[in-house]
Amino acid sequence: MPSLVSKLTAAPLNPWITGTLHWLLTSSPARLRLPLLIGLHSRLSGKNVEKLIRALKVLWLIGLARDLNVKLNSWALNNWTWKTEKDKWVWNWEVAVVTGGCSGIGKEIVQGLAAKGVKVAVLDIQALPTEFENNSKITFFHCDVTSPSSIAEAAKAVRTTLGEPSILVNNAGVGKPHSILDTTNEWVTKIFQINIISHFWLVKEFLPHMIAKNKGHIIGMASMASFVAPPGIVDYGSTKAAVMAFHEGLGQEIKHIYKTPGVLNTVVHPSWVRTPLVAGYEDHLDKTQGGLMRVDVIGKKIVNQILSCRGGQLIIPSKLRIAAGIRGNPNWLQELIRDMAVGKAGSKFPSVP
- Compute the distance between CA of residue 343 and CA of residue 334 in angstroms, rounded to an integer: 14
Q: How many Cβ atoms are within 10 Å of 345's Cβ, its own excluded? A: 22
Asked about 236 being catalytic, the answer comes back as yes
Q: Do residues 13 and 60 lie in contact, with contact meaning Cβ atoms separated by under 8 Å?
A: no
Angle, vertex CA 274, rays to CA 271 and CA 280, nearest 5: 115
Q: Which of 236, 281, 287, 300 is catalytic?
A: 236
Number of residues in the chain: 353
Q: Which residue from 210, 218, 203 is spatially nearest to 164, judged by alpha carbons?
A: 210
Q: What is the side-by-side order of every strand in the sheet holding 263-270?
A: 138-142, 119-124, 95-99, 167-170, 216-221, 263-270, 312-316
Work out the number of other CB atoms within 10 angstroms of the CB of residue 10. Answer: 14
Q: Which of 107, 240, 281, 301 is catalytic?
A: 240
179 burial type by CB count under 10 A (0-12 exposed, 13-18 middle, 19+ buried) = exposed
**Collapsing DSSP states into helix, strand and coil, what is residue 206?**
helix
Please give the radius of gyration of the chain, using alpha carbons only, rounded to the nearest integer.
23
Handedness of CA 346, 348, 352, 353 (dihedral sign): negative
DSSP codes, 264-286: EEEEEEE-SBSSGGGTT-HHHHH
What is the distance of C-alpha 308 from the center of its chain? Answer: 14
3-state secondary structure of 71: helix
Cis peptide leading into residue 317 (ω within 30°):
yes
Say how far apart CA 48 and CA 274 lie, in whole Å: 44
Identity of the amino acid at 20 = T
By annotation, the residues acting in catalysis are: 236, 240
